[in-house]
Amino acid sequence: MKSNFHWLLLAFAFAFHANVFALVSSEKNISESDSLKDTKTKRVVKFNIRPSVGLTFGDSNIDGERKTNLQWLATVNSDFTFISPGFDLSSTLFMQYGQSKSEDQEAVKLQDAFILSVTPSIPLIKLPPIRLFLETTAETNLGKGFINENPTTFLDPLFLYQTLFVGQKHYSFQKEDKTTWELTYGAGYAFQQTLNKNFEIVHDLDGNNSSFESGFSGIIEFNVNSQITESISFVLNAKAVALSRENFFQDFDSSRRSVLVRSGLFINKVGIEYNYHQVHDLNLSENAMVDQSIMLTISF
């Protein structure tokens, strides 16, 4: 049953992001400073997907013994935005997996992440322009590995959170403009779950049930897509999330904080990509977990 759920989650992620190509034909011109400024705005559909792969090969006999090493890193960045007069929907998908393989040694996992977010929103107040958001996010690993010495695999552990928050959403989408951007921020309340099978939860956080926790939430997200010239483009996606637990005012360190930065400068299909992912979660590790990479990649 759990195996079927694994594939169902992956199928949902790809289907949601890939099948929106059919909607892109309905895209209309729009230029707004805020998503509530003009309720007569025609609907807009934006979809981007950027799979890429980077390779590093090394061969050396400088110490008298020949050594070869191969490192590879595959990344998928995708985002979807739907805007209409009374309803907005945004979604992001980030997948990354890489290994290092040395001669006569087993492959070692370098980086591993799967993060899927879906966020619908509706207008709440016109002046000041306030929206009501409901974000659902799932975070896990794609392959087998370890957090410290704790074994991990796909959906083990699986961190889920759903937050209802109020905030603002500003954006600019224009066919004539070579740069589009979107800014979302707000505060609210979140329900959190850490699902595990073989992975052992590191801390009990003062008796809280780590499989279901709740607390205040704060979110800020900024996205930029710029077509600098006909062949040169720049992409930046940055998101920071803070989720408190029940003892937030007594122990801030028990709250979960995460930062995800995805960026790239591309010349046609060749680019330089930088990805940064930091998670502070005492349920998973006593120390902040950081993955970052900068690589010359080929996009498909």
What are the pLDDT digits (tens) for 133-176?
A: 999 999 999 999 888 888 899 998 999 999 999 999 998 876 66
State yes or no: pLDDT of 115 exceeds 80.
yes
The proportion of the chain whose per-residue pLDDT surpasses 70, expressed as a percent, equals 78
SS3 238: strand
Write out the CATH class of domain 2-299: mainly beta
pLDDT at 210: 59
- What is the average per-residue pLDDT within 76-80? 92
Q: How confident is the model at residue 211 (pLDDT cuts 50, 70, 90)?
A: low
**Domain parsing of the chain, residue ranges:** 2-299
Residues 6+ apart with CB under 8 A from 45: 20, 23, 24, 26, 27, 81, 82, 83
- What is the average per-residue pLDDT within 280-284? 89
- What is the average per-residue pLDDT within 49-65? 77
pLDDT, averaged across the chain: 82
pLDDT at 199: 87
Q: How confident is the model at residue 250 (pLDDT cuts 50, 70, 90)?
A: low
pLDDT at 5: 42
Say if residues 139 and 158 touch (Cβ distance below 8 Å): yes
